[in-house]
């Protein structure tokens, strides 16, 4: 990597971070236009403060509530609504699902072709013909980093898979990351989203596309998860812990958008498309098993790989022990998953009979291309077996 180093870095046009920034965002939102479509999760009432801020800034708004993770058909409907309502910009307010839904609606609304013309894996993956509507992202969970990524993950029930709508033009014009919006999140949501953030900090750090810019984000994010995820889970109203996790999530988004992910997200794409399983919880269940398989494969087939040293550094950051090695990182993650009561994949309906099909679909997922080592079919199937049984 060092002798022929090449990388690109791009992110949201403007990021506002800190407790209370939602209340300070009125003028920044008003700069995007005079009429907004606010895309929320299932609890549209949570957006009441945002709607008041928009009204105070002279921006009229309509809302579109989408419970659960966004589907291809839902995005089509949202884009049609955006056109009918003649909105100037889109705001995604909620967890990663609401933000991805809003991002996809903003991208599709000005474009004439069907969504499958632009969608990866199951579509034609063509570039957007026209620039998206301006998009603002306001996360209310700390995990996905979707506020600063250039893709939206959409489920296609007919294909039983999740695929990305992706374009550099989909980066948000404005990201408002107010940790106060995450206070009081349920423990299960804190755990799943927090471990998603950790996954998105580890995977880019050890990926084949790691670079010095994203490395810094990953190191800082991992430190904050290590010291604050358990506290945020145990004490849901502790502001300092929520600030740490909101920043870790933001940093994870900056990292994954400019480096790469890996096998955890490679598996999560088909699992999320085939089963009613929350993305963060799937990543949490897979993470320790993928780490074990990657380490074993690297040691067997690429013993001089840079990624092995990087796993050692992950261990030192997570444990706080200067003598820690890669296997200590696995132990630390496994103990964290147990402490945060992460369920096995069996909880979401996966059984050993599903392993071959999920494994084959995962091999085609775009995230697999960033994994530090190519996993063989038996290794992929072993990861799934462990995550289903919740054992090594």
pLDDT given at position 392? 47
- In the predicted structure, residue 320 carries a pLDDT above the cut 70: yes
DSSP state of 119: B
pLDDT tens digits along 202-233: 999 999 999 999 999 999 999 999 999 999 99
Task: Say how many C-beta atoms besides its own lie within 10 A of residue 357's C-beta.
Answer: 12
Assess whether pLDDT exceeds 90 at residue 11. yes
Alpha carbon dihedral 44, 149, 169, 133, in 10-degree steps, equals: 10
Q: What is the CB neighbour count within 10 angstroms for residue 233?
A: 22
The mean per-residue pLDDT over the stretch 352-381 comes to 96
Return the pLDDT at 8.
Answer: 85
The rounded distance, in Å, linking the Cα atoms of 179 and 19 is 5
Q: For the segment 80-109, what is each residue's pLDDT rounded down to a tens digit?
A: 999 999 999 999 999 999 999 999 999 999
Q: Would you call 79 helix, strand, or coil by DSSP?
A: helix
Q: Specify the pLDDT at position 390.
A: 77
d(C-alpha 2, C-alpha 297), whole Å: 23
Query: What CA–CA distance (Å, rounded) separates 176 from 186?
Result: 22
Select 187-389's CATH number: 1.10.600.10, 1.20.1090.10, 3.30.420.60, 1.20.1250.20.
1.20.1090.10
So what's the pLDDT on residue 144? 93
Task: Report the percentage of the chain scoring pLDDT > 70.
Answer: 98
Torsion of CA 182, 188, 193, 196, to 10 degrees: 160
Backbone φ and ψ of 127, nearest 5°: -65, 150
The reported pTM is: 0.96
Residue range 14-182 in CATH 1.10.260.40: no
**3 state DSSP class of 161:** strand
Residue located via tokens 């995962």? 362
Where do we find the tokens 């040691």? 299
| pLDDT on residue 1 | 45
Q: Specify the pLDDT at position 218.
A: 98
Q: How is the chain split into domains, by residue range?
A: 14-182, 187-389
Q: How far apart are the first and last CA of the chain?
A: 32
**Region label for 94, one of left (φ > 0), alpha (ψ between -120 and 50) or beta (otherwise):** left
Which is nearest to 134 in space by CA: 165, 103, 156, 161? Answer: 103
Chain segment 28-58, per-residue pLDDT in tens: 999 999 999 999 999 899 999 999 999 999 9
pLDDT higher than 80, residue 317: yes
Encoding tokens for residue 236? 């849901």
Q: Which residue has the tokens 């609401």?
A: 98
SS3 label, residue 304: coil
């Amino acid at each position: 990597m060092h002798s022929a180093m090449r990388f690109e870095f791009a992110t949201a046009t403007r990021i506002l971070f800190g407790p209370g920034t939602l209340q300070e965002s009125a003028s920044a939102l008003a700069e995007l236009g005079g009429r907004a479509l606010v895309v929320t999760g299932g609890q549209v009432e949570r957006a009441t403060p945002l709607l008041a801020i928009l009204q105070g800034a002279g921006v009229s708004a309509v809302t579109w509530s989408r419970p659960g993770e966004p589907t291809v058909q839902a995005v089509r409907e949202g884009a049609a609504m955006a056109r009918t309502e003649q909105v100037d910009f889109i705001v995604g307010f909620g967890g990663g699902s609401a933000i991805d839904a809003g991002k996809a609606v903003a991208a599709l609304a000005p474009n004439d072709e069907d969504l499958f013309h632009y969608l990866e894996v199951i579509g034609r993956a063509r570039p957007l013909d026209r620039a998206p509507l301006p998009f603002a992202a306001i996360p209310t969970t700390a995990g996905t980093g979707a506020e600063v990524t250039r893709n939206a993950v959409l489920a296609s029930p007919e294909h039983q898979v999740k695929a990305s709508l992706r374009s550099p033009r989909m980066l948000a014009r404005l990201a408002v990351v107010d940790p106060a919006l995450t206070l009081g999140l349920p423990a299960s949501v804190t755990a799943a989203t927090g471990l998603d953030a950790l996954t998105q900090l580890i995977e880019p750090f050890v990926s084949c596309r790691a670079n010095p810019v994203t490395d810094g984000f990953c190191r800082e994010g991992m430190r904050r998860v290590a010291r604050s995820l358990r506290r945020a889970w145990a004490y849901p109203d502790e502001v300092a812990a929520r600030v740490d996790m909101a920043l870790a999530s933001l940093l994870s988004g900056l990292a994954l958008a400019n480096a790469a992910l890996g096998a955890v997200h490679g598996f999560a794409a088909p699992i999320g498309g085939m089963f009613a399983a929350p993305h963060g919880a799937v990543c949490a269940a897979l993470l320790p098993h993928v780490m074990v398989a990657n380490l074993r494969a690297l040691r067997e087939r690429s013993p001089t790989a840079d990624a092995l040293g990087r796993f050692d550094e992950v261990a030192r950051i997570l444990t706080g022990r200067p003598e820690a090695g890669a296997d200590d990182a696995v132990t630390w993650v496994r103990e964290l998953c147990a402490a945060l009561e992460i369920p096995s994949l069996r909880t979401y309906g996966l059984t050993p009979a599903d392993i071959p099909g999920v494994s084959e679909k995962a091999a085609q997922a775009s995230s697999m291309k960033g994994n530090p080592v190519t996993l063989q079919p038996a290794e992929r199937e072993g990861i799934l077996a462990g995550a289903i049984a919740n054992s090594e």
